[in-house]
A = this chain, B = another copy of it.
Amino acid sequence: MSAPTVSRTQDSLLTPGQVAAMFHVDPKTVTRWAHAGRLGSLRTPGGHRRFRESEVLQLLDSLTTEASRH
């Protein structure tokens, strides 16, 4: 894999608690979104979920811009 494909997306991984704070919801709710396919879930060897900052930001943006629909 010395491929220069540079898949280096500067994606910081956020914990459920951090994402929950951004949406003002419970960490369990964020877990449900991941389970519903709303967010990609990265799993640590221990089973903990981790979310990509870019994905969370994108989802947050889509929910934030919902005020100008129509």
**What residues of chain A have their CB less than 8 Å away from a CB belonging to chain B?**
8-9, 12-15, 22-25, 29, 33, 36, 38, 40-46, 50, 57, 59-61, 63-64, 66-67
Contact = CB atoms under 8 A, between A and B. Distances in A.
Nearest to A61: B8
A20 to B, nearest CB: 11
A23 B8 contact: no
A66 B5 CA distance: 19
Give the interface centre of A8, A38, A57, A61 by most chain B CB atoms within 10 Å. Answer: A8
| Number of copies of this chain that the complex holds | 2
13 contacts: A8-B60, A8-B61, A9-B22, A9-B57, A15-B24, A23-B44, A24-B50, A29-B46, A33-B45, A40-B67, A41-B67, A43-B63, A45-B63
